[in-house]
A and B are shown apart, each in its own frame.
Chain A
Amino acid sequence: MSKELSHNKVRRYGMVIDLDKCTGCGACMVACMAENNVPFKEDESNKRDSITWMKVYKLTNGKPFPNTEICYLPRPCQHCEGHDGHSPCVSVCPATATDYNSETGIVSQIYTRCFGCRYCMAACPYHARYFNWWDPVWPDGMEKYLSPNVSPRMRGVVEKCSFCFHRYQLAKDKAYYEGRSEVREDEYQTACTQACPAGAITFGDLNNPLHAVHQMVKPDLKHAGRPKSPNAFRLLERLGTNPKVYYLSDREWVRRAGDNYMADTKNHLEPKEH
């Protein structure tokens, strides 16, 4: 549906992650797995086939002892808008299994449409997409905790973070039922935001000046949502993916690690994945 035809206000749900507060505890990863029926295997130490919609990376500044620094960087799907919804993955999907929702700004993944070509995985610069190489197996009895709000995926499809879209649907239903057209900020929060014990994740509508996310990063809508706040940055800004996940850090090396194409490459540091 094009923007002009939509009766609804355009929302751009996004996330701001304060890397100075993030402690790398991993609660967001498990909150996400528990909320979204993410499967697990006996050995998950091969991280290339370990499905983690939300993944916490560990970055170091590469300096020797005792000047070493560590920063953790949680990476959900960045829900790129690109130009007018042409996010990298949406553009290449031959099955329209992934789509940009112009009402919410959320990039969807429709498992029953996906036939597993994995073009989207190749296109995603953030490695946010995962392929189900196997059918999920829950140990006997453990399927009891599966949530009916999210379909368990079958072998052969790609999956990724949905910004807990089912929570948006539930919140919207509740609002309609109560005769409201707007979903309140606190009514729709992702599982990781809710769980984060450090309060490092903030979620809301980037278009809404009353929402905390908008106030924290001040997205410049004339320049594809680039943050106006000095300590805010987006991953690989230069690619023009126009992501809706923003990061905050006081530390320059961290900001640089998040976007190693930043203008000043004099003190260029390679981010190391741990």
Chain B
Amino acid sequence: MKVDRRKFLSFVVGGAAGTALSPLPWKLVDDSSIWSQNWPWTPVPEDGEVSYEPTTCSLCPGGCGIIVRKIKDRVVKIEGIKGHPVNDGGICILGLAGLQLLYGPTRVKTPLKREGARGSGKWRKISWADAISEVAGQLNSLRSSDKADTIGCIGGSDRGVTPNLLKRLTSACGSNNFFRTPSMQDSYETALQLMHGKKAMAGFDFENADFILSFGSGILDGWGSPVRMFKANSNWKTNKTPVIQIEPRLSNTAAKADQWLPVNPGTEADLAFSLINIIIEKGLYDSNFVNNYSLGFADLKQLVKDKYKPAKIAQATGLKSSDIEKLALKFADARRPLAICGSGQGHTPGSLKTFVAVHALNALTGRVNSKGGVWAVEEPDYIKWPEVQKDKPAVKGLAQARIDGAKSKYPLSQYLLNQLPDAVNSESKASLQALLIADANPFYTMPDNKAAQEAFNKIPFIVSFSSYMDETATNADLILPNHIYLERFEDIPTATGFAGPFIGLSRPIVKPQFNTQALGDSLISIVRTMGGTVAASFPWADYKTCLVQTLGSKWPALSKKGYWVDSRFMVPGWTEGFKTASQKFNFSNKDLMMVYNSRPIIPEGSDSFPLLLLPYDSIRLANGYIGDPPFVIKTVADTVLKGKKSFVEINPITAKKYKLKQGSTAILSTPKGQAQVKVHLFEGLMPGLIAMPRGLGHTAYDNYLAGKGINFNELIGTQADPVSGQDAAWGIKAKIARA
């Protein structure tokens, strides 16, 4: 048979068709997938001896006790410690996912020096010695050219040994420019300073309160020490303690509260003053406290009488005046009522007026420094280091005021990181020449994000001590990676809102996984290399020595038990609890009157923006220094994040007005920027508002988090509180249109 071209092609095509029609290819695909199913690419975890080691979680300032399950030297699970004073066995969603941070792809594995342009992601691995001498060299050259005051440091906290080493390094160099990441702590501290006359933190005796009035605090959304708040809430449910939540959005806290009072946003202080007015008028205040342990009551009384009449406040807040009155009566009638504030997770300081108003409300009913109330808790004072030694450049530098206006333009505030961008951007030559950043991610977390980034980009030398490749590390010139919390010793003094002095201890429960170094050791090495008075200000051989010496008599208990509670601590009380000039509680004085009379914070934007954009916090979206690990982002609902797009919430009534439907794509604009978002219709949001979650829109970290959604901080600006100077912006005007 002659095989011509035609026959050959028919044969090939026929053969192919025949094979395709036969079960053969399907059988082969099936067989090969079954066969390859058992290939060893599914890991078989190695077995071994099991051990449990206790430590303290420091992913947030909550201070939970955690116990870590290990198989040989591998850590396989993190759980809460039963009986721990803060979290008693409970643990939050982020704490549970800590191992994904330890072993995750976001770790910075070795010191890195930038190669390409800032943020381009081109790095060169360098040795620790080179990294340390580079930082020391830069700081020394600034000092020797009389620019010591242009050295700045940003820390996540100013409590505990490591943050204080960073603060000490700043002053030893000759600069006052140490910044702490802002939070509601700033406003609570200022309120306590003004009213109690002492430097203290607010501690809340939630467990003994029998009526909770929350001015927008996300009790179940990550406020304070989250696990403690969850536990307290469950106890309130069991004991039938009423919880009243005041905020315009049905948050998880509002959903679980006994009563949700949606007030117009930004009117919380007005409502508090109005409650004060009613309680005074009806004579329901604690007259023993007011008459014998306080000063300035008459001025406050006059102020609320003149300015906070129920009818006026009803209009401002959107509540009925009868409801406001009922609320005031319920609050005053309760045996141990407690009012709290600090909106959402309390990551922004907010308006000082709200804090003093809420604190005055507590005081009026005798709820300060008493059982079930709010206490001024002094932090454990174990850090008693001698003054830093100063040479000429240091003396000269320390004579300069802080660049952010804290302690000068704003005498009541200690740190004003929110003022830093303006201070840097307003001058042609950067007023900061070097910036060291630890336990903070300001490139992501700072509102008016564009201005903040612009300011950072003007600073010629930025060092990040981050353990993770976060936005700040990505944009730094040098990264000196810290051990993560499971690899290092760290004292964690007083969990947020804890009622009494408390220190938790983080300890290394696993060998350092990478070529990292504890921040304390990096700082001590830097000063050692710098030499002179800077080195002399740090008399410790290494960080561990410094820690043990500083904690002194508390160290044995800490290293044995993992935490230290001041057993002698008692409720501060009214007789000795106030450190004002008169030893009494201040209802008003010159500073307080300035706060009471300060102008309200009106959201930024012209009338061309008819709506209001508000942030909301979710416990499933970490929005501080740490970003969501893979497990946590996995739990985020598909009505918050779908693929790379994030949703904004909007009431169906408002949505209809703008022709938006569930899932519509829309352009959201504010005076600060615009973003493409998807729309989620939510009945639980007050009409006229748009709510957006914090914690999305990361550009750094890993592929599990980066590039998903919009960073709220890019759409909001900052607004300085007229008295404290802290960021008090609670929203921004906005418009939305179908894309």
Contacts and interface: CB of A to CB of B under 8 A. Distances in A.
Interface of A: 20-21, 23-27, 29-31, 33-35, 37, 40, 42-47, 50, 52, 56, 58, 60, 62-66, 68-72, 115, 135-136, 138-148, 151-156, 194-200, 274
Given A21-B234, A145-B76, A147-B71, 19 more contacts: A21-B233, A24-B255, A25-B620, A27-B92, A29-B634, A30-B97, A40-B630, A44-B634, A45-B642, A60-B683, A65-B684, A65-B687, A70-B252, A71-B255, A135-B41, A142-B104, A147-B69, A151-B44, A195-B90
A24 B220 CA distance: 9
Contacts of B262: 65-66
Contacts of B683: 60, 62-65, 68
15 contacts: A23-B233, A27-B90, A30-B96, A33-B634, A44-B634, A45-B638, A45-B642, A64-B652, A68-B683, A115-B34, A141-B104, A145-B75, A146-B45, A152-B45, A156-B34
A30 B255 contact: no
B93 A25 contact: yes
A245 to B, nearest CB: 19
A34 B97 contact: yes
A139 B105 contact: yes
Chain A to chain B: the 4 pairs with minimum beta-carbon distance, closest first: A197-B90, A197-B230, A70-B255, A146-B45
B637 A274 contact: yes
Contacts of B643: 43, 45
Contacts of A146: 43, 45, 76
| Most chain B beta carbons < 10 A, residue from A27, A47, A70 | A27
Contacts of B686: 65-66
A155 B93 contact: no
A37 B684 contact: no
Contact of B43 (A21, A23, A143): A143
Contacts of A24: 252, 255
B637 A44 contact: no
B250 A70 contact: yes
Interface stretch (B77-85, B195-203, B445-453): B77-85
Please indicate which of the listed interface residues A65, A146, A153 has the most CB atoms of chain B within 10 Å of its own CB: A65
Most buried by B among A26, A72, A136, A153: A26
A194 B81 CA distance: 10
Contacts of A33: 631, 634
B42 A26 contact: no
A25 B234 CA distance: 13
B102 interface: yes
Contact of B634 (A40, A65, A147): A40
B620 A26 contact: yes
Contacts of A198: 90, 230-231, 233-234
A186 to B, nearest CB: 10
A144 B252 CA distance: 35
A94 B402 CA distance: 74
Contacts of A156: 33-34, 37
Nearest to A28: B93
Nearest to B90: A197
Nearest to B685: A65
B250 A68 contact: yes
A64 B685 CA distance: 9
Interface in B219-269: 220, 226-227, 230-231, 233-234, 237, 250, 252, 255-256, 260, 262
B395 interface: no
A161 to B, nearest CB: 15
Contact of A138 (B43, B48, B233, B651): B43
A268 B26 CA distance: 49
Given A23-B230, A65-B685, A197-B230, A30 B638 contact: no
B37 A155 contact: yes
B100 A145 contact: yes
Contact of A31 (B47, B96, B653): B96
Contacts of A63: 683
Contacts of A70: 250, 252, 255, 684
Interface string B9-34: 00000000000000000000000011
Output the residue of A29, A43, A64, A198 with the most chain B CB within 10 A: A198
A200 B234 CA distance: 8
A142 B103 contact: yes
A72 B685 CA distance: 18
Contacts, number: 190
A198 B542 CA distance: 41
Nearest to B652: A64
A140 B105 contact: yes
B236 to A, nearest CB: 10
Interface string B679-692: 00001111100000
A72 B703 CA distance: 29
A30 B631 contact: yes
Contacts of A31: 91, 96
A146 B643 CA distance: 27
Contacts of A30: 93, 96-97, 631-632, 635
A31 to B, nearest CB: 5
B351 to A, nearest CB: 24
A140 B43 CA distance: 12
Contacts of B135: none
Given A34-B97, A70-B250, A143 B45 contact: yes
B370 interface: no
A180 to B, nearest CB: 20
A136 B37 CA distance: 11
A25 B220 contact: yes
A138 B99 CA distance: 13
Nearest to A44: B634
A30 to B, nearest CB: 4
A34 B631 contact: yes
Nearest to A153: B42
Given A42-B703, A139-B702, A142-B103, A195 B80 contact: yes
A250 B554 CA distance: 47
A99 B632 CA distance: 31
B61 interface: no
A251 to B, nearest CB: 11
Contact of B234 (A50, A72, A195, A199): A199
A155 B75 CA distance: 26
A2 to B, nearest CB: 34
A141 B252 contact: no
B376 interface: no
Contacts of A155: 33, 37
Interface string B637-659: 11101110000000111000000
Contacts of A136: 42
Contacts of A151: 44
A37 B45 contact: yes
Contacts of A56: 635
A18 to B, nearest CB: 8
B18 to A, nearest CB: 29
A72 B632 CA distance: 17
A58 B256 CA distance: 13
Nearest to B513: A141
Contact of A34 (B47, B77, B513, B638): B77
Contacts of A52: 634-635
Interface in B253-308: 255-256, 260, 262
Contacts of A21: 233-234, 237
A148 B76 CA distance: 9
B565 interface: no
B74 interface: yes
B26 to A, nearest CB: 16
**Listed residue (A42, A153, A197, A200) with the most chain B CB atoms within 10 angstroms of its CB:** A197
Contact of A68 (B37, B47, B220, B684): B684
B607 interface: no
A156 B636 CA distance: 26
B298 to A, nearest CB: 37
A25 B105 contact: no
B606 interface: no
A138 B45 CA distance: 12
